[in-house]
């Protein structure tokens, strides 16, 4: 579990050509999640290596010998005990000795990541899955359905998840901004009785793989559809999250940094606004003209606030008439937060003035009010009801 002084941990290169310093082990990861108020979701290998591990695409999957699987499964169970066990348990005592006597409250555990759906994978996944269910029924296991939003592994992965009744599966997709606009209704017709979905890796890849406003708005539009389908999509996470300038082979990433500074992309601000303006109840939202436009409305049960999100992906303003039907008490005040830029192709430069960042201002509202969304913009209108 990457224990001991960081400087004594042995670094290694991974298959994606990154050097891993092993400075962020399980302990640091769980502490990081605790510090930022997030739930940890560690993802463990399903007893097989990545199919790309020999750098020959989809032919390199290697399996842990079946004779060694009991020991591997015990490692998985030990991790759960280390995270959640009492201080008088074997691994809970080790956690306490490292300075964290309180349990971390692990609830979710991913098994496998974008794996090729082979007999070897399925056999080992089922062994791990059954062992976790038996020993730790309080843990929700997240399965995998491959690296793409469709195709053979996607279909076989879902079929396997149906067979085992896996509670959550992890879908991944890196696609063009237009794909996200074209798939706003992807989850509308998902079977509500099947596994729930964790969109564990996604990002809009614009021309040149740049972190443009165009890409960020496509992601914002897509997130409104995930809010609408929150009964199916329980989690979503932009990927990759962090990248050091000069040491990447993959773009875009959400937050860049160097030895002294941090450089948020426009996509970061989209994620920030959704994180700060979430709700626990989706309100029916009707949009008369949805071309290059998306919207969602939610209520924050803790504050009672109504939150309206509006995404205009067009190069022209879009005038709207907002009707707060069914609202018995008119909100007392409201603010609008607008994320926009000079055009859809702008990016936030490192160390310079951001081309797009959220701007907050008051807005006058009524039970019916007009609002013109700027071109290429994401607007959040938050209405106070208490």
Structural contact between residues 361 and 326, judged by C-beta atoms closer than 8 angstroms: no
CA-based nearest residue to 211, from 260, 271, 170: 271
Residue 37 burial by Cβ neighbours in a 10 Å radius (0-12, 13-18, 19+): exposed
Indicate if 114 belongs to the active site: yes
The kind and range of the H/E element at 341 are none
Residues in the chain: 386
Looking up tokens 């769980």 gives 30
d(CA 95, CA 190): 41
Measured CA to CA in angstroms, residue 241 lies from 110, 143, 253, 257 at distances of 18, 21, 6, 11
Other Cβ atoms less than 10 A from the Cβ of 157: the count is 27
Q: Residue 349: CA atoms inside 13 Å, Cβ hemisphere, count?
A: 4
d(CA 313, CA 221): 8
Extract the tokens encoding 321: 């008439």
Catalytic residue among 28, 34, 98, 114: 114
Instruction: Determine the Cα angle at 350 with ends 347 and 354, to 5°.
Output: 50
According to DSSP, the residues that pair with 278 across neighbouring strands are none
Extract the tokens encoding 30: 């769980």
Structural contact between residues 297 and 351, judged by C-beta atoms closer than 8 angstroms: no
Q: Say which residues have a Cβ less than 8 Å from residue 320's Cβ, sequence separation at least 6.
A: 310, 370, 371, 372, 373
Q: What is the number of H-type helices and E-type strands within the chain?
A: 8, 19
d(CA 251, CA 51): 22
CA-based nearest residue to 212, from 155, 268, 279, 144: 268
Catalytic residue positions, numbered: 114
């Amino acid at each position: 579990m990457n224990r001991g002084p960081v400087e004594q941990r042995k670094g290694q290169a991974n298959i994606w050509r990154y050097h891993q310093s092993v400075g962020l082990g399980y302990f640091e990861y769980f502490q990081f999640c605790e510090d930022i108020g997030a739930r940890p979701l560690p993802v463990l290998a399903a007893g097989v290596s990545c199919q790309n591990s020999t750098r020959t695409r989809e032919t390199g999957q290697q399996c842990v010998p079946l004779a060694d699987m009991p020991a591997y499964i015990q490692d998985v169970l030990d991790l759960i005990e280390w995270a959640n066990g009492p201080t008088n348990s074997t691994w809970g005592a080790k956690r306490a000795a490292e300075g964290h006597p309180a349990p971390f409250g692990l609830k979710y555990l991913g098994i496998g990541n974008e794996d090729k759906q082979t007999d070897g994978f399925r056999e080992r996944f089922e062994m791990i899955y059954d062992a976790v269910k038996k020993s730790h029924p309080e843990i929700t296991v997240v399965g995998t359905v491959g690296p793409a939003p469709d195709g053979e592994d996607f279909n076989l992965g879902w079929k396997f998840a149906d067979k085992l009744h896996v509670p959550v599966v992890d879908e991944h997709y890196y696609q063009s901004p237009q794909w996200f606009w074209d798939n706003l209704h992807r989850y509308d017709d998902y079977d509500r009785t099947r596994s729930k979905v964790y969109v564990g890796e996604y990002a809009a890849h614009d021309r040149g793989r740049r972190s443009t406003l165009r890409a960020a708005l496509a992601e914002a539009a897509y997130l409104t559809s995930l809010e609408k389908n929150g009964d199916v999509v329980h989690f979503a996470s932009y990927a990759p999250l962090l990248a050091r300038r000069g040491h990447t082979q993959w773009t875009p990433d959400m937050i860049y940094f160097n030895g002294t500074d941090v450089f948020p992309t426009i996509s970061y601000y989209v994620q920030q606004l959704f994180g700060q303006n979430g709700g626990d109840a989706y309100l029916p939202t009707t949009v008369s003209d949805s071309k290059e436009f998306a919207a969602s409305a939610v209520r924050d049960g803790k504050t009672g606030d109504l939150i309206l999100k509006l995404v205009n992906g067009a190069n022209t303003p879009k005038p709207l008439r907002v009707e707060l039907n069914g609202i018995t008490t008119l909100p007392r005040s409201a603010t609008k937060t607008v994320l926009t830029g000079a055009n859809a192709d702008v990016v936030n430069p490192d160390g310079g003035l951001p081309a797009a960042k959220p701007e907050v201002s008051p807005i006058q509202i009524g039970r019916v009010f007009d609002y013109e969304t700027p071109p290429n913009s994401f607007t959040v209108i938050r209405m106070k009801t208490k």
